[in-house]
Copies of this chain bind each other. A is one copy, B any other.
Amino acid sequence: MKVGILLAGCGVFDGAEIHEATLTLYFLDKAGVETVIMAPNIKQKDVINHLTGEPMNEERNVLVEAARIARGNIKDINDVKAEDIDALIMPGGYGVAKNFSNFLEKGAEADVIPEVKRLLVDMFKAGKPIGAICISPVIVAAALREAKPTVTIGTDIDVAKAIEDMGARHLACPVNEMVVDEENKIVTTPAYMLGKTIKDVAEGIEKLVNKVIELAKK
């Protein structure tokens, strides 16, 4: 079995959340599953100084930065087809919202960038499971509006409302649990949308990873 991991860069404030991405890789490897790490070859929306929280006056590329988490072993998402993988997992981080969509500006009306939308739609049509961590369920809900999936981003009222305005159903969920939409094969967990420490986040991600693998076997 091969599971794709879609990264939005490298760092919680402008890219992929590093702990969520690493723990996803860890639990997949522990389960004996091969991984295909990927990212879109696009410019980051912004570069945030993670020490100060302030924007930096420079440009970085999502694929090049995501390669740091992948130790260089990463593909351009345009080179990955739904038929190449048995499931797809998206770790979170602000970069998911900022680099994969215009969710911060447009809320429920958000569009997903074509590179990411294409793979999500193809995975869904192929009946292959999608796992979405942290803020990523927003992208799944925006890309798969017709499916009206049931997802969680934890307990954030504003983001939950935007998700419901997209036509999806939102369920509140604690950090160490997940929400499973068996029909649509979509699994979600709040991670750092709610979690205070890495141990709590890991608990939810481990459950998500194992559920995605189980759904991929069906």
Task: Tell me, yes or no, whether A198 is within 8 Å of chain B by CB.
Answer: yes
Residue of B nearest to A59 (CB): B58
Q: For residue A104, which residues in chain B have a CB less than 8 angstroms away from its CB?
A: none
Q: For residue A69, which residues in chain B have a CB less than 8 angstroms away from its CB?
A: 18
Residue of B nearest to A17 (CB): B71
**Which positions 184-209 of chain A face chain B at CB distance < 8 Å?**
192, 197-199, 202
State whether A25 touches B198 (Cβ < 8 A): yes
Task: Tell me, yes or no, whether A68 is within 8 Å of chain B by CB.
Answer: yes
Complex CA gap A16/B72 in Å reads 14
Stretch with Cβ within 8 A of B (4 or more), from A49-57, A79-87, A106-114, A149-157? A49-57
Stretch with Cβ within 8 A of B (4 or more), from A5-13, A117-125, A158-166, A173-181? A5-13
State whether A51 touches B29 (Cβ < 8 A): no
- The digit string for A60-94, where 1 denotes a CB below 8 A from any CB of B, is 00011101111110100000000000000000000
Complex CA gap A18/B37 in Å reads 15
Task: Tell me, yes or no, whether A210 is within 8 Å of chain B by CB.
Answer: no
Q: For residue A30, which residues in chain B have a CB less than 8 angstroms away from its CB?
A: 199, 202
* Nearest CB of chain B from residue A198's CB, rounded to whole Å: 5
State whether A51 touches B23 (Cβ < 8 A): no
State whether B50 touches A12 (Cβ < 8 A): no
State whether B64 touches A50 (Cβ < 8 A): yes
- Of the candidates B15, B19, B71, the one whose C-beta lies within 8 Å of that of A26 is B19
16 new A-B contacts at CB < 8 Å, known A22-B23, A50-B65: A10-B11, A12-B71, A18-B18, A18-B22, A18-B68, A19-B26, A22-B198, A49-B64, A49-B67, A50-B64, A50-B68, A50-B70, A51-B63, A51-B72, A58-B58, A71-B192
